[in-house]
Structure 1
Amino acid sequence: MPKNTDATFTRMDGVKEYALRLAASGWIPGRWFNSALPEKTALRAAQRPLTLEVVSHCWKYSEFQLYQLSSLVNHAPTQLKVIHTVFYSDEDADTVRLLDFFRTQQVANVTWNFIALPKEQLFRRAIGRNQAAKQTQADWIWFTDCDVVFHEGALDTLATQLEGCQEFLVYPQQMLATDLLPKDDPLIVQAKANPTVMELDLTRFSVRKFSRATGPIQIAHGDAARACGYCDSLAVYQKPMTRWSKCYEDRAFRWLLGTQGVPIEVPNVLFIRHAEKGRYQQGSQISVLRKTIRRMKSALFNR
């Protein structure tokens, strides 16, 4: 298990986290805090058949996790082997029910790896990501979110792009995204019924481009992940939280690796954008505020 996960996040930790956010803006080289980072030339140039570990977290987002898991059934890779790790909490009954269903699905080249965590550890996403990074046996590890979907050809094209690659971090330079969906959209409502394998209609998605390896599209070299973990050297990001924490550690991870990531072409990586945040208490002030901010960003910046 990751270190410090039995500690409590304190007010002083909040101060440290803010200082790290400033440092990760470029004030200090991240490699000063990541002495375990290997030289790029030492990274193994893996050849096919590659192994990819996909890592996602799910807390009250089972309707989106369903589409991600379904995509590996509907579009099982042929050019690489996938270990799909999902971190979840036993207190999230809908997600438990969903994962129990997919455990019964036998898919060529896909291994399910569903790991229950105490919800306080789940709420700090870096804890599970760090655990997966340190323990992975894969050539590459894709840290993603449960609302990201791998449609036809995505993973097989990724295998071609990663063969022989010696980069710390890569990312798909574009995804296909929905509009910001309300909670009563049929795509969401249908996925809340009894678990089943479902497919997405690509006509509902349009292109969105990215300039760096943001949180759900961080694809790290396995050697770097095993050596450095996921913000393993930053103790504040390895402490449990009493509620879901905003993922500032995504930027810190790139900072520690000393790169924004190298863009690659990967088709049909889908992103289901949604206004409702299931991980926050519905109707609470923070839920209403975050939903308003998301809608404003979508209207002004298409984000």
Structure 2
Amino acid sequence: MSHQTDIKRITAPEIARRKGGEPIVVLTAYHAQSARLLDPHVDILMVGDSLGMVMHGLETTVPVPLDLMIAHAQAVMRASERALVVVDMPFGSYEESPAVAFRSAARIMKETGCGAVKLEGGVSMAETIAYLTGRGIPVMGHIGMTPQAVNQLGGFAARGRHRAEWSRFEEDAIAVAGSGAFSMVIEAVAEPLAARITQEVRIPTIGIGASAACDGQVLVLEDMLGLTPRVPKFVKEYAQLRVAVEDAVKAYARDVRARTFPSEEHTYPVLDEAPRTAKKNEFSVG
């Protein structure tokens, strides 16, 4: 898409300065069409590795490769011009060492033009976050329920439901903030814990299944639009597009079988005059 010169992208430092201010609006975007629609209304477009489950039918995010994240992020960048684009680092692309993480993150940023990367983990990833941020790569952290650790956790379940667990998550949050991350996602933790962490750290917290007290919120776009058949407890469905899509497809199938589509208005008549130059987009298809 053409980019207007008077529109500037939101940057990671700008998001960091929003701590305690106007709530930060975040939604996932996996392709150009959704990015184009969301861009004027959100602060951050998150190219999450959840795309493996939503777009590719995977059971978890674990199998998602780096190349796939880059391909989707390139599409989102091409179709947006205002929102900060943050790209998830997939499982296996950063855990081995800070140096491996840097190579993966540098490749993501060079090949997509995104403004930041996101990685999961707290205390265990503090050294890596510091290594990346010290070398010019803005990092968003991710604590609480970390989907890439689903095999170790034994499933997708809320965290911090018992107060005895809180100190561990608080330590994770403090480590992420202290390592130079510009913000952090807090996923699927007890509401009082998320609110407490938000008060304790100096960087913005982005809640998903956490607390309205967080500095911002993120949801998977397809979940909040009602496109997925089953959604987590923390999702509010702002539309029921799955029903609308099914109804539209049924109507299309009915018209095709009845030979009522295409009708005259959707076909090209024979012209007696000399051939003319086709108008732009006249022959475009979906």
Tell me the TM-score normalised to structure 2 length.
0.29
* Greater strand proportion: 1
Normalized against structure 1, the TM-score is what? 0.27
